[in-house]
A and B are shown apart, each in its own frame.
Chain A
């Protein structure tokens, strides 16, 4: 793997020292097979001598077998990774390639250019700082050129290289090149590029790749490699306001409490005044802690741990900022969305949004329009299909901290996850917040969950009693409700049997029906929570995933799992309803504990044991815990 430097053989220590100072550039190449994209990347790897002999031997063999260059080395074959697509001659996913020169290390995202692969191009563009858009000089600017430009600009790439390839096939004609560049500039005015560099080249012949080609004397700009080695991109994120999304709270002992994360943008120094976006609490940076010692400052891109002067409450998902330059903080915003899944976007369907370390339930409330990725025209539409782009309003169930993506590429970006399949179905970029929570904080006093619970002198919550049939769930829930009522609390109980007689009487006991049963109960419980009630749910709910589903519908702290831990033998001995006997006799199928499993909770908030304590004592324990969790005390909604 011979780099070209003579230092390697003569002065390896000097070479290593020089290599330590190298920077890193990530770029994406856009174009179709016909534009010679794979050939271009293959050429860059080849010319920087990063192809090993065994790889070269394999490449030569492959070129003879499936190559398209008539037995000549087909550079494109070096890049196509997965076996199934090798014979098809197209790249269908994102592949990452690496090469380096003496000045820089490069990571290339190689993505397909066809319209049906918009998803992959967006993925590759998300981490790139430069886009190299290939154009066949014979064909000029095509629909796909516009599409590639739009997507890379949408994903926040600010520097584009217009690589006008196959100049050798038009006799290196300057007139044709100039016309293409002029047309492109006219179009790109609608986009957000800050620099456009047009380079005439031939990937196959190597013209203007590593060095300026004598075949193109009229061109006085940089060769492609010279451009890639020198374009400045890092400074942009350092100049933005400081943002630290907290990934991890580092607490090895009582004396150390650090907040770990990667600086998304800006610079931070010890002594800086910082604010926690969500809570508004402020403090000063004490130290910037790393394994290699404390730092005088940390800049965008560094993974650090901050300690603060004051003990304030910060957890994963919080975003730290300088007190005088806070991000937006809102639960409604407008965003550009790229849809990435075969299942269409369904406005109103509950999705999850992951924005940095922040996760929230979200609804895409209103699709404003779709964007035709080829013409940039706005088109009316109710839904987004795979590879479509649109603008929509999004409502989250908790406020999130972000900046408009156009202002800060390292903030205000998110993925959309389907809550039921866990697939990543889309990606989005915030345009702006809709309710300017940072400026007008809750000016109109909504009658919301907090207000309703406040009026009742409590915090709304779900007490989810789970355990085997006959474990004593309903008995204990009943006692707990009596005690809460006596304390003046507002409660309601959803009992498994009772719900089955009404709301869920259309459901049987198949797996699908059991899941639907739980889902309805959980959604109903959520409505009661929204109404400000302490809601008691008494359900066998044998599967962890079902209980997790219920937990996921509620905000942190609202779901309190009460495990009524009574062993199967005892339940079967009691057999109050005679069900165990029927199950043993084979009259009832899928009976929990007999021929259907019960998955014990691993981290229940409360566990009661009815073999060592009475139902009364268990109920007292539950009420005491509620007190401890702050459910019973008056709490103040953040108004």
Chain B
């Protein structure tokens, strides 16, 4: 009898298969790099897929200009360390219009600086396939997402008209201007991601670990004061508290959790004992039921 593969090794192999298939099937793929833990895993898998060669595609970060400073520092450090091609795209039009989460609200900010910006970047570089780190367990609308998700020329997703996806055979045929979003870690859960990071010793942004950080409490969320662009409400004074982040995005939109988890096993332990799901820390999902599905149709990842 041969030993069977563990669940993490099976998930890893499935992801590598998908990454290789995209690289072989498209002329100009790109890996979207959001700097979060899922992106860290995705990047690690891409390095495994083509070893000893480097991944045959660039990484692209769509920068909203409101990311945590530690995220940007981590991004640049990883780029230098692994020697990958990094494209950073910022929606200059949005910057010129002064769009930001404090002045325009999370909806418009995300729309202009993230969704629109991503479309801009894909058009600019003419990428025909883009890897994303979305997982099916994150949210209901994602549970039905394909691994190769077809997008029209205007980057729209049509949940009613998806290509059937059988076995590990993916239909990579597109016409000019159309594209595929590929999700190699579709079948991973949050716990799988953490276990894999632990097992493989994958670097992640320090914000995931607990530390004393300056935060204010707003609408039931702990928001970190990451720079001086954050306006203080009357009477509001940032407090130093032991907090960490379960998910990373734009700092004004990402809630911290109080925690003492300072190591990976601590984080995993805390996650397993906690009772709220990870996307709860994100403001965009709160707007209305089915909001993620709407965003996805419009081209959000």
Contact = CB atoms under 8 A, between A and B. Distances in A.
Contact of A352 (B2, B5, B173): B173
B93 interface: no
Interface in B255-298: 265-266, 268-269, 271-277, 280, 289-290, 293
A443 B12 CA distance: 45
B70 to A, nearest CB: 25
Interface stretch (B114-122, B189-197, B207-215, B233-241): B189-197
A130 to B, nearest CB: 15
A81 interface: yes
B181 to A, nearest CB: 16
Interface in B1-26: 1-13, 16-17, 20-21, 23-24
A54 B165 CA distance: 31
A341 to B, nearest CB: 9
Contact of B191 (A96, A100, A234): A100
A95 B24 contact: no
Given A98-B137, A98-B187, A248 B277 contact: no
B275 A301 contact: no
A481 B168 CA distance: 46
Contact of A22 (B1, B3, B6, B53): B6
A23 B7 contact: yes
A256 B176 contact: no
B52 interface: yes
A424 B7 contact: no
Contacts of A261: 17, 20
Given A16-B195, A422-B174, A302 B169 contact: no
A158 interface: no
A9 B12 contact: no
Nearest to A155: B166
A247 B277 contact: no
Specify which of A104, A234, A413, A424 lies most central, judged by the most chain B CB atoms within 10 Å of its CB: A424
Interface residues of A, number: 82
B293 A82 contact: yes
Contacts of B154: none
A-side binding surface: helix, strand, loop or mixed?
mixed
A156 to B, nearest CB: 10
Contacts of A297: 2
A247 B137 CA distance: 28
Contacts of A58: 289
A8 B272 CA distance: 7
Given A16-B195, A96-B187, A422-B171, A415 B268 contact: no
Given A1-B272, A52-B276, A55-B277, A545 B175 contact: yes
Contacts of B195: 16, 19-20
A292 B49 CA distance: 11
Interface stretch (B59-67, B104-112, B138-146): B138-146
A91 to B, nearest CB: 9
B47 interface: yes
Interface string B161-180: 01111111101011110000
Contact of B52 (A247, A252, A417): A252
B215 to A, nearest CB: 20
A93 B5 contact: no
B159 interface: yes
A247 B24 CA distance: 7
Interface string A350-373: 001011110000000000000000
Specify which of A1, A238, A414 lies most central, judged by the most chain B CB atoms within 10 Å of its CB: A1
A94 B136 CA distance: 12
A606 B267 CA distance: 58
B169 A248 contact: no
7 contacts: A234-B4, A248-B24, A262-B16, A292-B48, A302-B9, A422-B175, A424-B165
Closest 10 CB pairs of A and B: A252-B53, A83-B290, A24-B7, A303-B16, A422-B173, A52-B277, A126-B166, A291-B51, A53-B275, A291-B48
